[in-house]
Structure 1
Amino acid sequence: MDQRLVMQLLLPCLLVLVFIRCASSEHWQIPELSMSMRTSSIMISDSTYDELPPDEEIHFYTQTLDHFNYRPESYATFQQRYVINSKYWGGVNNNSPIFVYMGSETSIIGVAASGGFMTDNAPYFKALIHRYYGDSVPFKEADQNASTLGYFSSTQALADYAELIINLKKNLSAENCPVIVFGGSYGGMLATWFRLKYPHIALGALASSAPILYFDDITPQNGYHVIVTKDYKEASESCYNTIRESWSEIDKVGADPGGLNLLSQRFNTCKPLDSTKELKDNLGLLYVIVAQYDAPPDYPVTKICDAIDELPEGADILSRISAGFAAALNITFRETGCKNVVDLKPSKMSRWQWQTCTEMVMPIGYHENETMFQSNPFDLNKFIKNCQNLFGVTPRPHWITTEFGGHVSCIYTNYLF
């Protein structure tokens, strides 16, 4: 085949690779909780940041409530907030690319203020949105129930992006400007699915830490916590062993008369512990959060293990774990006084809990000796009961996937438009 023809055929794919190659996650930190935390979600609110960077502009788009039905109420609209930055954009005449970051389970203000990834890859034009997070809420808080939350799904969110991107390109007369979508964690899942479902809108997608295969036993249930365990074991073998041995020690002390009070004192909690499970859940939560964001220059996993290992020889397990607990809270939540124990009970107001209860059921669990954590196998029946108690709904897993990928399918897919 003529070499020039080969290059013309491969060009659409190479465009995607070019944008991926210039991408670097070195400065990128996503302000959201681990995907594995099924019972809680700690989000960075707008109040965490005083204002957006000077180049970021807030806009509102009149978004369709329901993209897939034709009942009268489906034609309702709501104001969807998004952020744009066109400072480095090359413009329509140059057919400059449009980079779209797909917002995840948090307010877009925090992402726009903290994310340096896309600004490191100019020229670009970006937008960030997601329904039901931040200010993009179709219904008032008092009106939110299983019926109104029924419009809250990844499929609807993807359609939001499709509608907004088409509208933006039309208003900018930028129909010939290619769109590359980006995302991390849940946002990375959206970016991947968007490329699959709307290939005529997005030329390519870059997804970071996107667990698109953590469904339906495609990935081993213990996969996430095996990797977390590996982080700590590589940081320090003795730290890893101390954490493994700590769970039974906490249960042993907590079972004694006055044991919970003793644990409260040893860990300097701001309120008395109600159970050993409360303490263990918080320790487990901190270990995975710190491992998930174990980035330079701090390397918090190393700092926690240093705190555990640096106590004098002969220090007991609880002393070492409490030292690591204090270090973890200081790193993660900047707590230096008494140590707050996070209430991990599910809340009706948890948006991410709704999504995991309705469509994205991730079977995350582990048995004894598979990780450094105490055994916690995934129990689907328990999960279903919890969702029914919270929202009155039974999980109905649904996600977008592809069942095949033929040779040079990238070429044929791109030539669809």
Structure 2
Amino acid sequence: CVTYYRPLTNSRELKSYLHSLYVTAAQYNDPVRNPVSVICGGIDGGAYGSDVLSKIYSGLVALRGDGICFVNPPSTTVSETSEGWGWQTCSEIVFPIGIGSNTMFPAQPYNFNSFATSCEKRYAVSPRPHWVTTYYGGHSIKLILNKFGSNIIFYNGLRDPYSSGGVLEDLSDSLVAIQAAQGSHCLDLVPQNLTSDPKWLVDLRNKEVSIIKGWIAQYYVDLQTLGSTKLSINNENKLFSMK
């Protein structure tokens, strides 16, 4: 561990690691692994002591397993997903999310200038905070999408804190919202596990597949109708030209 992990140089590194750990646990708090309950159970159990740092370590070990090194792992290649998401948040979707003074985390108000500086340093691009409303035409997703959107499923796992900003009700017949009270972030897209997936998750995925199959079937019906209409028009034109 000492050979491969960089030693902590300041408390900010530890705070940043724990912040990422807790946020990820809340976002991906699926009903099988239950990372939030695992962490909280470890903290409450206090297997490594009753002081604050010992309880934090107990929660960490409960989730990640017993070990002596967790923070500052060896540098590895950044995944395409992480790099792509970083690029998107800098070039398209600005998330003005800060931390207030009434949470479990140290207060950290959102600072756009600081965010812009980091984007310019990392990608040589300046963020566009109004890109979304400019591109889509306004703040009301219901009004805008009803004008040109169709065939979208908005899944929201209500365990995911981001669901509070999600689309939680149908916007039209083909702009469909599906809620999962025990679901987490993107759980419907996670590969199935035949041994551990709860029945409600299996049913939810089947519902989504059924909806998508319906869209595809309707597309071919419309395509066939369009072809018949064109054939009829062509025949009428031929008759007109013969006269």
Normalised to the residue count of structure 1, the TM-score between the two structures is 0.29
Name the structure where helix makes up a greater proportion of residues: 2
Larger Rg computed on CA atoms: 2
For normalisation by structure 2, the TM-score amounts to 0.48
